[in-house]
Chain A
Amino acid sequence: MKVTKTKVWSAAIAVSLTYTAAYADGHTADVYAPYEGTTLVVNFPAHPHYNAVLEVLPEFTEQTGIEVEVDQLQYLRMRERQTLELTKDEGDYDLIAYVVFSKADYVFADQLENLAKYFMNPRLADPNYDAADLIDGYVANIGVAGGEKGYLPGQTGSLFGIPFGAETSVLAYRKDIFEKHGIEVPTNYDQLLEVACQIPELEPGMGGMASRAASGHQASHAFLLHLAPLGGRVFDAEWNPIINSPEGVAAANALKTIVDCGPEGGTTFGPAEAAAAFQQGQAAMFMDSIAFAAGFEDPTRSTVVGNVGYAMHPEGVRRGSQTGGFGIGIPSNAQNKEAAFLLMQWLTSKEQDLAIAMAGGNPSRFSTYQNAALNEKYPYSATFGEALQYADPDWRPIIPTWGTINADIGTTMSQVLTEGLDPQEALDGVAERARAIMEEAGYYTWQ
Chain B
Amino acid sequence: MSTARANRMTPYLFLAPAGIVLAVALFYPICYMIYASFLDWNPSQRIGEADFIGLRNYTKLFSDAAFRESMWVTIKFSMVVVTIEMILGVGLALLLDRNIRGMSVLRTLFILPMMIAPIVVGLMWRYMYHPTVGIFNRTLTDWGFDPIPWLADGDWAFASVVIADVWQWTPFIFILSLAALQSLPASAIEASKIDGATGWQQIIYIKLPLMLPVLIVTLLLRLIDSFKVLEVILVMTNGGPGLSTEILSLRINRTASEFRELGEAAAMSNLLLIVLLILTFTMFIYNKAQDARMARLRKVEEEV
Contact = CB atoms under 8 A, between A and B. Distances in A.
Contacts of B243: 215, 411, 415
A223 to B, nearest CB: 14
Interface size grouping (class) on chain A? 35 or more
B131 A265 contact: yes
B42 interface: yes
A403 B254 CA distance: 10
Given A264-B132, A268-B151, A407 B44 contact: no
A84 B45 CA distance: 9
A267 interface: yes
Given A403-B259, A407-B258, A414 B242 contact: yes
Given A264-B131, A265-B130, A400-B260, A214 B154 contact: no
A418 B260 contact: no
B130 A83 contact: no
Contacts of A86: 44
Contacts of B42: 105, 109, 400
A404 B240 CA distance: 16
B258 A215 contact: no
A419 B46 CA distance: 41
A214 B238 contact: yes
Name which of B46, B131, B153, B261 has the most chain A CB atoms within 10 A of its CB. B131
A403 B154 CA distance: 23
Given A214-B238, A214-B240, A419-B154, A264 B254 contact: no
A144 B16 CA distance: 56
Contacts of A87: 43-46
Nearest to A412: B242
A141 interface: no
A261 interface: no
Interface string A352-374: 00000000000000000000000
A408 B241 contact: no
B66 A408 contact: yes
Nearest to A79: B257
B239 A215 contact: yes
Contacts of B246: 411
Nearest to A76: B257
Contact of B242 (A105, A265, A418): A418
A404 B238 CA distance: 16
Given A105-B260, A215-B241, A411-B240, A418 B152 contact: yes
Contacts of A79: 257
B242 A109 contact: no
A385 to B, nearest CB: 33
A418 B240 CA distance: 10
B43 A267 contact: no
Interface string B133-172: 0000000000000010101111000000000000000000
B218 interface: no
B240 A216 contact: yes
Given A87-B46, A109-B45, A265 B241 contact: no
A428 to B, nearest CB: 14
Contacts of B258: 216-217, 403-404, 407
B237 interface: yes
A378 interface: no
A418 B244 CA distance: 10
Given A215-B237, A404-B259, A265 B132 contact: yes
A267 B44 CA distance: 33
Interface string A390-411: 0000000000100110011001
Contacts of A263: 132
A119 interface: no
A216 B238 contact: yes
Interface in A227-250: none
B241 A415 contact: yes
A216 B254 CA distance: 10
B259 A105 contact: no
A105 B260 CA distance: 10
B153 A83 contact: no
The winner among B42, B44, B147 for most chain A CB atoms within 10 A is B44
Interface string B216-255: 0000000000000000000001111111001000000010
B259 A215 contact: no
A93 interface: no
B152 A267 contact: yes
Interface in A59-81: 76, 79-80
A267 B241 contact: yes
A265 B238 contact: no
A268 B127 CA distance: 12
Contact of B131 (A268, A412, A418): A268
A168 interface: no
A414 B66 CA distance: 14
A123 B260 CA distance: 39
A163 B239 CA distance: 32
Given A108-B44, A111-B44, A419 B242 contact: yes
A417 interface: yes
B261 A109 contact: no
A407 B264 CA distance: 15
A418 B154 contact: yes
A21 B42 CA distance: 51
Contact of A411 (B44, B151, B242): B242
Nearest to A421: B242
Contacts of B151: 265, 268
Contacts of B254: 216, 407
13 contacts: A83-B44, A87-B45, A214-B238, A216-B258, A217-B258, A265-B132, A265-B149, A267-B152, A268-B240, A404-B261, A411-B66, A411-B239, A418-B154
List the 6 closest pairs (A to B, CB-CB), nearest first.
A265-B131, A215-B240, A109-B44, A418-B241, A415-B242, A267-B152
Interface of A: 76, 79-80, 83-84, 86-87, 105-106, 108-109, 111, 214-217, 219, 263-268, 282, 400, 403-404, 407-408, 411-412, 414-415, 417-419
Given A215-B243, A418-B240, 5 more contacts: A83-B44, A84-B43, A404-B259, A411-B243, A414-B241
